[in-house]
Amino acid sequence: MQQHIENDDKYLGLTVNSGVVQPPSVNPYFKPRRRAPLPTAGELVEGILKGDITLLSRAVTLVESVQPAHRALASEVIEKCLPYSGNSRRIGITGVPGAGKSTSIDVFGLHVLKDGGKLAVLAIDPSSERTRGSILGDKTRMEKLSMHPDAFIRPSPSAGSLGGVARKTRETIILCEAAGFNNIFVETVGVGQSETAVHSMVDFFLLIQLAGTGDELQGIKRGIMEMADGIVINKADGDNVGPAQLAQAQFRSALHLFPPTESGWMPEVLTYSGYYELGIPEVWEMIDRYFHFVKSNGYFELKRNRQSRYWMYETINERLRSDFYDNPEVAALLDVNERAVMTNTMTSFAAAQSALDLYFSQRGR
Judged by the rule CB under 6 A, the positions of this chain that interact with ligand GDP are 95, 97-103, 234-235, 237, 273-276
Q: How far apart are CA 225 and CA 236, in angstroms?
A: 20
Q: How far apart are CA 324 and CA 309, in angstroms?
A: 23
Q: Which of 171, 163, 179 shows the shortest CA–CA distance to 79? A: 171
Identity of the residue, 245 or 327, whose beta carbon is nearer to ligand GDP in the bound complex: 245
Cα 272 from chain centroid? 25
Identity of the residue, 128 or 337, whose beta carbon is nearer to ligand GDP in the bound complex: 128
Least CB distance from residue 185 to ligand GDP, whole Å?
A: 12
For the CA atoms of 86, 91, 94, 99, the dihedral, rounded to the nearest 10 degrees, stands at: -150
- What Rg, from alpha-carbon coordinates, does the chain have? 28
Least CB distance from residue 136 to ligand GDP, whole Å?
A: 8
Q: How far apart are CA 327 and CA 323, in angstroms?
A: 6
Least CB distance from residue 162 to ligand GDP, whole Å?
A: 19
Identity of the residue, 88 or 273, whose beta carbon is nearer to ligand GDP in the bound complex: 273
Burial (Cβ within 10 Å: 0-12, 13-18, ≥19) of residue 55: buried
Least CB distance from residue 232 to ligand GDP, whole Å?
A: 10
Least CB distance from residue 105 to ligand GDP, whole Å?
A: 8
Least CB distance from residue 272 to ligand GDP, whole Å?
A: 7
8 Å CB contact between 290 and 232:
no
135 DSSP 8-state letter: S
8 Å CB contact between 219 and 184:
no
Sign, CA dihedral 96-135-67-42, equals negative
Identity of the residue, 91 or 330, whose beta carbon is nearer to ligand GDP in the bound complex: 91
Identity of the residue, 234 or 337, whose beta carbon is nearer to ligand GDP in the bound complex: 234
Identity of the residue, 46 or 277, whose beta carbon is nearer to ligand GDP in the bound complex: 277
233, β-bridge pairs: 209, 271
Identity of the residue, 84 or 276, whose beta carbon is nearer to ligand GDP in the bound complex: 276
Sign, CA dihedral 279-280-282-286, equals positive
Least CB distance from residue 276 to ligand GDP, whole Å?
A: 6
Q: How far apart are CA 183 and CA 176, in angstroms?
A: 9
